[in-house]
Amino acid sequence: MGRTAPGFVRLCLCAALVITAAAAPGAAENDQVVLPMDARLVAALEKGDRASLDQVLDPEFHWVTPAGVLRAKSSILAVTPKPAIASGSGAEVTARALGSQIVVVQHHSGKTHAMHVWVKRGADWRLLHINEVTEGPRVVYAGTTLGGAECINPCKVVPFVPATPNEKAVMESWQAQQSGPAEWASHIPEDNVARTSNGTYTKADRIAVQQEQTRAGTKAAAGPLTWARIWDFGDSALMLALQPRAVGKPFWGSRVFELRNGVWMMAESYQTTIQDF
């Protein structure tokens, strides 16, 4: 089971990274092990070091660019992109272990954010996913169904067939949070911060929006699910989803869930708009 109040390891990209481990780390130390690996990853991307990238990128790796373009590992090795946030930029970097097999490293520089999802495959750590987002004009959203609006997809049915019991549980948890403010609040931890193309929101920010829209009699349904993939890592999971918006362009949603006290909670979430749509 994941930690109830996950901690963070922070550093500046301009700092040197040196960690020596005499023994294999426990889950609580995974963030400290992954952090220097992430720094080396950024350096390899900036140099176009495809040999190093081939070793560290998971075979199922996917990257969502700030423009909402989805790229697979083969595409990255063929034409290597530069990260949205460069090393030496003075950006804030945090590393957070979620469960025993996922570490989320985030890079923040002004209105640009990047989430790197590292996963443990056997004894090795691999980078499974990157989502980069640049905030545009802030567009507030409730994050759930409000005002008695009808919600079939995703609240009741979704175009997704789970491959494991955990995939099923994660999807059902996400569906529940889409169904109304009370369920939403019970599945979003206090430490969740949503980074989106339409702004950055804490849990308190979104609750305030829900309350204001409820007072105004607003009816709003959650965006339906078009496509999704879930990667199951026992006590944590990554979900990549494609969804339209009621107003505006569709987006890729990258969400990391952690099992906390028997409930699958959405610990991290990025939403990147597909610009060329």
239-267 tens-digit pLDDT: 999 999 877 899 999 999 999 999 999 99
Residue 222: the pLDDT is 87
pLDDT at 9 over 60: no
Last residue of a domain, one of 119, 134, 149: 134
Model confidence, pTM: 0.89
- Average pLDDT in the chain: 90
Q: Does 16 share its domain with 130?
A: yes
Residue 254 lies in a domain: yes
Residue 25: the pLDDT is 47
Last residue of a domain, one of 117, 134, 151: 134
CA–CA gap between residue 53 and residue 80 (Å, rounded): 9
pLDDT at 177 over 70: yes
User: What is the CATH classification number for the domain harbouring 211?
Assistant: 3.10.450.50
Total domains, the chain: 2
- DSSP designation for 220: B
Q: Does 229 share its domain with 184?
A: yes
Residue 193 lies in a domain: yes
User: Phi and psi (nearest 5°) for 239?
Assistant: -120, 130
**Contact (Cβ atoms closer than 8 angstroms) between residue 85 and residue 109:** yes
Task: Provide the domain limits for residue 187.
Answer: 165-273
pLDDT per residue over 135-147, tens digit each?
Answer: 999 887 778 999 8
pLDDT average, residue stretch 217-239? 94
